[in-house]
Amino acid sequence: MKYQQLAKDIIQHVGGKENVNSVVHCITRLRFKLKDESKANTEVLNKMDGVVTVRKSGGQYQVVIGNHVADVYKAVVAEGGFEAKGEVDQDEEKGNLLNRFIDMISGIFTPILAVLVASGVLKGFNALFVAVGLLDEQDGTYQILNAIGDGLFYFLPIILGYTAMKKFGGTPFLGMVIAMALVYPDLEGIPESGDPLYMLFAGTMFESPVYIEFLGIPVILMTYSMSVIPIIVATFFAAKLETFFAKVVPNVLKMFLVPLLTMLIIIPLTFIIIGPIATWASQLLGAASVGIYELSPIVAGIFIGGFWLVFVMFGLHWGLVPIAINNFATIGQDPILALIFAHSFALVGALTAVIIRTRNQKTKALTPPAIVSAIFGVTEPGMYGVALPLKWPFVFTVVASAVGGAILGAFGTLGYNMAGLGVFQMPSFIHPEEGLNLSFVASIIAMIVAAILAFVLTYFFGGIGKQETEPEVTEEPTDSTENETEVKSEVITSPLTGEMRKLEEIDDTAFASGALGKGVAIEPTEGKLVSPVSGTISALFPTKHAIGITSDNGAEILIHVGLDTVQLEGRYFETSLQQGERIEKGQELLTFDIDKIQKAGFQITTPVVVTNHDQYQLKIIEQVNVTSESTVLELTTK
């Protein structure tokens, strides 16, 4: 399996199989529920090839992978055997109320996110085909495409019955049966078949017709197809009820009597009490969100649009997504997800400026695929891999997203169905009756303005070129006899105490590809660098993060402490040596503060490469832990 080794490494560094309660994935992340987060080695995971970054939020340990997260997830599940662990560990109930709420919502909606977005995209494009005259609503093609796109939304309670019941620790199929009863066609059609028996709560805002009774108790029939909150509340109580019956029913009768008793109690209870109350709550929630939006659409656009990426970073967006889905179900439109539309394109603009200005080869390699991902609404690779590490591109993306959100709010742009993000979200702005109206045009304006603004700000004020450029090193003239040094065999010891890694595994394209030389990498555990050979310092960068050495036997060695640490501009590095100075093997060359470098956001992985390797037969002495006395490279003349 392609990602088997990565899966093994991830499982190992989240604390092993026994530390994992559950794991799911969204568009870019593996979302772990760990028994003890202190057992996870975040530092190692952050440095791991194939992992973009690690985030802790909402009670989850999130390992950001990128676009191929689904494949990595399959490998992790296969490697860890997690698919068989359907139960929710009671330890998951720990944490503050906000964390528990976010964990609950993400656990319910994450498993269906991909198919939910796919269905929304299809609905959006179907509306576009009608708006431009390619299809008519009476066409069979339109009706079949609409069935494909709308089927999930119509029967959404059944899908949520499964995921919510599983999240609450009950039997998932029991949750589905509860939902099936709620959307049962014969019950949904009763209000259309005749006059009500009487009115309940007459003269109040909750006035409701009663068409049927259950054991003499009035039943308020609601439309539960496309609903969200009623089934989540019903399954919550169903899971508790099932657990109770599982404890008191004799083992010989459990197989059928536990689900039977649960259904006989919870389904009527849902029709009589839970369903109506949850439906009214849904309607109030939808009205409240629209009411807040109508108070000041522009301010709402600035806030929600501008801070969406921040919400995503901390997992807080899961508190808004269900509200949006509920809005589609109850009022047929939603302002929340519409206001965030511009953020993907703001990031595209910032990343485009980065790729033009940067001189860092690693950044140049990471940015193009991140741009493509952002166009299609997947922002994590660009946000975590490029914009956040460079800081200002992220800030300018937030600013441009806020401006785009303000434009969307000013023109009253709304979404009319759940769709994807990025370009896939555009069809959702097509008005069901007016088609391509002014608010749809506003979405295009917001997209263009956000992209251009982020580009201009990043290009001119991001400091990208200067920030990432390695300082030029002017080598002092050396004695002519040194230039004529005969190349001889050489033994190179480790300049650091730490853990040795393969060079091709490190998170730096230039070093990993061998373009700067062949050798090894060291993960130092001690902030002291010593000379691996006797010779001369041929290059010493002003930022002190890199040293070039020419050995007495002619080997040219480059030692680069950390990755991208040139941006520290010499902070946390100390040396008293000068370029051209004579050094002996084992002599201390410089010291550095590992903790401060890492807290500043930089990796301390240190490549040790031979730049004139083409003159040698190079042998790597493979090992794990090394000290200054450990031989890591043997050079033999050709």
Q: How remote is the C-alpha of 177 from its chain's centroid? A: 33
Measured at the CA of 476, the angle between CA 471 and CA 482, to 5 degrees, comes to 130
Rg (CA), the chain: 30
Q: Are 334 and 228 in contact (CB under 8 A)?
A: no
Phi and psi at residue 42, in whole multiples of 5°? -60, -40
- Coil vs helix vs strand at 496: coil
If we measure between CA atoms, which residue out of 167, 9, 18, 27 comes closest to residue 76?
9
What residues are paired with 559 via a beta bridge? 547, 608
DSSP 8-state symbol, 183? T
Q: Which ranges of 132-274 would DSSP assign to H, the alpha helix?
A: 140-154, 156-167, 172-182, 185-188, 229-248, 254-269
If we measure between CA atoms, which residue out of 585, 591, 576, 577 comes closest to residue 628?
585
Q: Which residues are catalytic?
A: 26
Distance of alpha carbon 10 from alpha carbon 16, whole angstroms: 9
Which class for 361: exposed (0-12), middle (13-18), buried (19 or more C-beta within 10 A)? middle
Which class for 123: exposed (0-12), middle (13-18), buried (19 or more C-beta within 10 A)? buried
If we measure between CA atoms, which residue out of 574, 568, 577 comes closest to residue 548?
577
Task: Report residue 468 as tokens.
Answer: 């990432």
Please name the residue that has the structure tokens 């509200």: 323
